[in-house]
Amino acid sequence: MKIRTIAMLAAMASASSFCAIAETQEFKFKAVDQNLETQVCLKAATEGLASAKQLVSENDINFSFFNKTVTCNGESLKSFANLYYKSAVDVNEPKVVAVRAKNANVESQLCLDALIIGEEQARQKHDLQGVEVTCNDKPLSIFVRKFERQNLTVKLAD
């Protein structure tokens, strides 16, 4: 009996459990109802999959079954958690990357400066326009692009 009730609620939850309202890069979640499926989706988005799994277990429900029958705004629970929880962590807590020059040569300094002020400005600062430079075994432009795509803070290591 309990399984049928869960399946029926899961079907309703998958149709309209809650909506995500995006504001720039942050997400705000508004629960449409207070059923367990909605609460699990909300927990997955705001605290991650492990917290959602714990909530399901606290309600004496088999997580494997729950996970197979419930979707959150059309996404699997795992996908939903990865999509929104990861984004919230990336936006609110930027990665801190410790960067240290391997040696004191101008190329190493260029690599560091390119991360902080950009490739072109760093090349001008060190007068290395047109010179091939590698940083961590990658061409400078690829090295810089790798970090431009991330929300990070560059911190020079001691």
Burial class (CB in 10 A: 0-12, 13-18, 19+), 52: buried
The candidate with the shortest Cα–Cα distance to 70, out of 119, 61, 153, is: 61
**pLDDT, one tens digit for every residue, the chain (158 residues):** 333 222 223 333 433 334 433 332 466 777 778 899 989 988 888 888 999 999 999 999 999 999 899 988 888 898 888 888 865 555 555 556 667 777 778 888 888 888 888 899 999 999 999 999 988 888 999 888 887 766 666 665 55
42 half-sphere exposure, CB direction, 13 A CA radius: 18
Q: What was the pLDDT predicted at 148?
A: 73
Show Cβ contacts of residue 9 under 8 Å, excluding neighbours closer than 6 positions: 35, 36, 37
Whether residue 85 sits in one domain with residue 8: yes
Give the domain range for residue 123: 95-156
Is residue 105 located within the same domain as residue 146? Answer: yes
Q: Tally the C-alpha atoms within 13 A of residue 49's C-alpha that lie toward its C-beta.
A: 13
Same-domain check for residues 121 and 101: yes
Same domain, 107 and 45: no
53 lies in the same domain as 113:
no
The reply to whether 6 and 65 lie within a common domain is yes
For the chain, what is the domain count?
2
pTM for this model (two decimals): 0.45
- pLDDT for the residue numbered 156: 57
Q: Do 63 and 27 share a domain, yes or no?
A: yes
Task: List, for residues 70-92, the tens digit of each pLDDT value.
Answer: 988 888 898 888 888 865 555 55
Residues 134 and 108 in one domain: yes
